[in-house]
Amino acid sequence: MKQSQLFTRTRKDAPKDEVSKNAQLLIRAGYIHKEMAGVYSYLPLGLRVFNNIIKIIREEMNAIGGQEITMTTLQSPKVWEQTGRWNDEVIDVWFKTALKDGAEVGLGVTHEEPLTALMTEYIQSHKDLPVYVYQFQTKFRNETRAKSGIMRTREFVMKDMYSFSKSQEEFKIFYEKCAAAYKTIFERVGLGNHTFRTFASGGSFSKFSDEFQTICEAGEDTIYIHRAKNIAINKEVYNEETVKDLGVTMEEFDQAKAVEVGNIFPLGTRFSDVLDLNYKDETGKAIPVVMGSYGIGPARLMGTIVEVLSDEKGIVWPKEVAPFAVHLVSLAGDNVDVKKEADRMYELLTENGIEALYDDRDLRAGEKFADSDLIGIPLRMIVSEKSMAAGNVEIINRADGSVQRIAESKIIEFLKG
């Protein structure tokens, strides 16, 4: 993509009503546009990052046997009334509306009920299990106060996976597979060293669940970290009994603020009992299916990356989620030869499958470098009179500022390596 053709522009200031760092930087860099409180549009650069995060999650869910579907956002009250969760006192963030015929519908907040009801048509025998189904689907939650930029919004995409197993033992095996897959996801998006599997409340579903919490000053949660064991406990369940169960003492934990970037829940037979999701075992006996739920919000993950990894100059994207691998910056000025060389380099990258954002604009070097820092692409490649005279290209690492000068003949090998 040529930057001169990109309809978005960087800006010096974010909207005055935007206080979160992730939204300020993403708006200034041209990744997102704020429509209203808690509602954001994804612009070309932002959509590329968002889709890269989804790609990583999809690959890891497929690797553990997930089957992808897409369910409807519009929700009939019927199955929700059966489980008692259509009641606003039970789920207080529903968006509900009426159809022209007067029937009431809701905008989905989660999908345990409709998917359980759907699976009653496909699960009858023990031979039909286990099954693991997931989706990337837009959810709506009527938050009292939307805040934290794209980390807490009223409209968002959620990757929600649901497991259907014959027994607790079979469920637990998959539960741990999913936990390991989540660990890989957080490593791939650059948050592996900052994210901890966290012992948390199971809410209405079970005594305990697992959250994945990333240490972050903008986080809304308080966790207690045991670094030697690489685990943490959410403040809500941090007590002597819980700590004793883990075989450690309270003095061994450090307190930190964190943001929840993922969670995995045992659901047991909570939904299969009510919605009659049963299977017949080898003897013909009907047994309730054991379920689990596994969630990650790609946008929340995107915002957390910005909060945790950005610096005073702007965003710093990890390689796998960055909108482009390289930010090619031409410092041609009035020099036609430099412009031709930069154009040729852009074509060379494109021909070799290396995605680049090409800053071909007629601006001063300082303006281009400031924009490049703000946008945060991992590598900045500079073509200038100086580099041409030396017969190489200057490459700057956005994360640490290190500079390498690579001979033109070695550029593709270097970038692919």
Mean pLDDT of the chain: 95
Indicate if the pLDDT at residue 14 is higher than 90.
no
> CB 17: neighbour CB atoms within 10 A?
7
| Residue 326, strand partner residues | 356, 379
Fill in the DSSP letter of residue 228.
T
Render pLDDT for 154-186 as a digit per residue (tens, 0 to 9).
Answer: 999 999 999 999 999 999 999 999 999 999 999
Task: Identify the three-state secondary structure at position 370.
Answer: helix
Domains and CATH numbers, the chain: 8-309 (3.30.930.10), 326-416 (3.40.50.800)
Give how far Cα 241 sits from Cα of 229, 244, 247, 252, Å. 18, 5, 10, 15
Indicate if the pLDDT at residue 207 is higher than 80.
no
282-286: long-range contacts, CB 8 A cutoff, minimum separation 24: 282/126
pLDDT-above-70 percentage for the chain: 99
Render pLDDT for 94-103 as a digit per residue (tens, 0 to 9).
Answer: 999 999 999 9
Q: Which residue, 380, 381, 377, is CA-closest to 393? A: 381
pLDDT-above-90 percentage for the chain: 88
pLDDT at 204: 64
CA dihedral 404, 409, 411, 417 (to 10 degrees): -100
- Mean pLDDT for the stretch of residues 143-154: 86
Written as six digits, the tokens of 341 are 């060389």
Q: What is the pTM of this model?
A: 0.95
Give how far Cα 284 sits from Cα of 15, 124, 281, Å. 63, 10, 5
Q: For residues 127 and 81, what is the distance between their CA atoms, to the nearest angstrom? A: 30
Render pLDDT for 77-133 as a digit per residue (tens, 0 to 9).
Answer: 999 999 999 999 999 999 999 999 999 999 999 999 999 999 999 999 999 999 999
pLDDT band at 309 (very low <50, low <70, confident <90, very high): very high
Task: Identify the three-state secondary structure at position 104.
Answer: strand
Prior bond of 77 cis (ω within 30°):
no
Q: Are 106 and 80 contacting, i.e. CB atoms less than 8 angstroms apart?
A: yes
pLDDT at 22: 96
Fill in the DSSP letter of residue 203.
T
